[in-house]
Amino acid sequence: MRTAAGPVVFHTFFEPRGLRHMLVDYPQRFTKRGVIDDLIPVLGNGLLTAEGAPWRGRRSELTPCLAPRALALIVPAMDEAVRTMVDHWDHDDVIDASRDMMHLALTIVGRTLFDVNLGDRAPEVSAAVEQVSRLAYRRTRSFLKLPLRMATPANRAYRRSIDVLRGLVDGIVIEAGKRSPFMRRLHESTASDGDALRHEVMTFLLAGHETTATTLAWTFAHLGRDAGLQERARYEARAILAEGDLTATRLDGLPLIDAIVSETLRLYPPGWMIVRRAEEADEILGYAVPRGSFVVAPVYALHRHPDFWTAPDRFDPDRFLDERVPPDPLIYIPFGAGPRRCIGETFARLEARVLLVRLLDRFALEPVGDLPPPQPLTTLRRPREPVRMRLHSVP
């Protein structure tokens, strides 16, 4: 589908062969320039925004830090953070899952990647991220963008939020030093260049907690509406808890819990739309793609497309267990595809497993209020209203 917004042309492909061309086969022909420029004041030239050789080098250097073997070492820290949160809950409590998951995810990122305590900063960071994402999304969609140096109310709010996040990052860099393996690798990969180091810390701070927290909140929202599914998942969780302490190996044996997370990611993919700019003239499936035009992978629409999914709007984790998923992997891309597939996918899924095992062992969920709609901003962000859940202790 070809559309135009003023002078800007977009090519949207619902055909996996077209997406494979852009994301997998010829990713070097397409960049994020012109797509996420309004996030560069926040993220700098970090892994999410960098292109070409700088990106390839940094990606190669940092990938081992987030590989399964390395992440196996941080399971105890993840588990401790989860158990601390769950121990603060009690029977008949009503929680705001959106808020609590943001606090948990920020705590886990702080402990496991940076070896610092960030949990107390969660409300401040969450508000700043919300403001930055909302204003960046608004600027991305606008043809008339006033320079950030101009003192408009929106620009002032944008700069204030950026200053909050930069202050947090500066504190992390100073406090963390080179204590954690991840920070040591960041220092090595950036040659301890101050700006480059801060850019990467900012990238992993934001990307490492915000999208994971949102996914977990949506998981609560849907899991709480199916008592039978909760009971099945509880049986699975308790089976591995009976084997002893949580380890990465034991957490690999959770097919239903993994399916619950996968189904949440299908309905609420963090990267709800992937957009790239063509850096050279190209042709995709017989369609001319001029240089400077944009190619779109409509992830949210693909994940709910009736041609690919049975009952696409229904929360049905069993579709991932009984082979009712599309055979082409380019139809299901919650973490992207190709060389720029999200580096934190394994981290996020591991965190979700630990949380759901500990949660289901202790509590049953009951929704308080209706299912809220999502907010499509720079990512498919947190629900518009709090995800309120009542907790019931289970024997």
DSSP of 215-245: HHHHHHHHHTT-HHHHHHHHHHHHHHHTTSS
Q: Name the amino acid, one letter, at 314.
A: R
List Cα–Cα distances, 84 to 87, 107, 117, 134, in angstroms: 5, 11, 13, 32
Asked if residue 205 lies in contact with residue 182, where contact means CB atoms within 8 angstroms, the answer is no
Position 356 confidence tier, pLDDT thresholds 50, 70, 90 = very high
Q: What pLDDT, on the 0 to 100 scale, is given for residue 38?
A: 72
**Phi/psi at 393 (nearest 5 deg)?**
-65, 145
In this prediction, residues 362-376 reach a mean pLDDT of 89
Q: Where are the domains of the chain?
A: 2-368
Q: What pLDDT, on the 0 to 100 scale, is given for residue 315?
A: 97
Position 336 confidence tier, pLDDT thresholds 50, 70, 90 = very high
Query: pLDDT tens across 158-202, in order?
Result: 788 888 889 989 999 999 999 999 999 999 998 888 899 999 999
E runs forming strands in 266-340: 274-278, 282-284, 287-289, 294-297
Distance CA 51, CA 165 (A): 23
List Cα–Cα distances, 322 to 257, 259, 326, 380, in angstroms: 14, 10, 12, 27
Q: What does pTM read for this prediction? A: 0.93
Asked if residue 43 lies in contact with residue 206, where contact means CB atoms within 8 angstroms, the answer is yes
Q: Residue 363 pLDDT > 70, yes or no?
A: yes
Encoding tokens for residue 43? 């993220």
Residue 374: in which H helix or E strand, if any?
strand 374-376
Mean pLDDT of the chain: 90
Distance CA 167, CA 56 (A): 28
The dihedral of CA 109, 272, 58, 199: what is its sign? negative
Quick one: which of 344, 326, 324 has its CA closest to 336?
344
Residue 42: in which H helix or E strand, if any?
helix 40-43
In this prediction, residues 319-334 reach a mean pLDDT of 94
In this prediction, residues 338-354 reach a mean pLDDT of 96
Q: Does the domain spanning 2-368 belong to CATH 1.10.630.10? A: yes
Residue whose structure tokens are 């601390």: 84
In this prediction, residues 279-302 reach a mean pLDDT of 94
**Phi/psi at 292 (nearest 5 deg)?**
90, -10
Q: What pLDDT, on the 0 to 100 scale, is given for residue 291?
A: 95
Query: pLDDT tens across 126-158, in order?
Result: 777 777 777 766 666 665 666 667 777 877 887
User: What is the separation of C-alpha 237 from the centre of its chain, rounded to a whole number of angstroms?
Assistant: 24
Position 81 confidence tier, pLDDT thresholds 50, 70, 90 = very high
